[in-house]
């Protein structure tokens, strides 16, 4: 059974009232990256390819790299990092879905299962099919939690990712 947005909000930091939805919590955009070098996924390990953080598009009337300057993204694949730190509680599994605003603007957000015990500031694959501007702090995804049986909790290499 999926949990209420109020329950999900207890496991997301920071979160505003505006982000809490009936069945989940909206996650906001912290940064956008482009992968510039090949990665590797092998039988005994993995390596994420070298990424570069995209610069925000300077908009007339705003200061250079002002917090409100949007990312201008032409078609392509990008890594979107969320602002919020998420903690998936025991007895649950997390799923991230794109907000419909992305879909209506010819964009898609692909994500993976977030196991019980995971804690971090996650990322998703943002596929852009038509030019778009997205501001830092814009709501781009929704986290939902579902009750789930599990034998153990997550303790993999992404535990605590992007948490400074």
Structurally, how many domains does the chain consist of? 1
Q: Is the pLDDT of residue 65 over 90?
A: no
Q: Is the pTM of this model over 0.75?
A: yes
Q: Is the pLDDT of residue 61 over 60?
A: no
Residue 11 is assigned to a structural domain of this protein: yes
Give the pLDDT confidence score for residue 67 in this predicted structure: 59
Residue 120 is assigned to a structural domain of this protein: yes
Residue-range definition of the domain harbouring residue 20: 5-36+63-147
CATH of residue 128 = 2.70.40.10
Q: Is the pLDDT of residue 62 over 90?
A: no
Residue 43 is assigned to a structural domain of this protein: no
Residue 68 confidence class, pLDDT cut points 50, 70, 90: low
Give the pLDDT confidence score for residue 55 in this predicted structure: 81
24-38, 40-54, 56-70, 101-115: segment of lowest average pLDDT: 56-70
Residue 81 is assigned to a structural domain of this protein: yes
Residue 139 is assigned to a structural domain of this protein: yes
Sequence-distant (6+) residues with CB within 8 A of 32 are 53, 54, 71, 73, 78, 79, 80, 81, 126, 134
């Amino acid at each position: 059974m999926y949990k209420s947005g109020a329950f999900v909000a207890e496991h997301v930091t920071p979160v505003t009232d505006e982000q809490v939805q009936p069945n989940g919590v909206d996650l906001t955009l912290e940064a956008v990256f482009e992968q510039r070098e090949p990665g590797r996924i092998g039988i005994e390990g993995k390596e994420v390819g070298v990424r570069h953080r995209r610069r925000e598009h300077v908009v007339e009337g705003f200061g250079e790299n002002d917090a409100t300057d949007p990312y201008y993204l032409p078609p392509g694949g990008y890594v979107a990092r969320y602002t919020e730190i998420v903690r998936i509680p025991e007895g649950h599994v997390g799923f991230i879905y794109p907000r419909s605003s992305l879909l209506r603007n010819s964009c898609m957000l692909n994500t993976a299962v977030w196991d019980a015990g995971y804690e971090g500031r996650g990322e998703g694959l943002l596929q852009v099919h038509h030019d778009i501007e997205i501001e830092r702090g814009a709501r781009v995804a929704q986290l939902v939690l579902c009750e789930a049986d599990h034998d153990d909790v997550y303790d993999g290499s992404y535990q605590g990712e992007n948490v400074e």
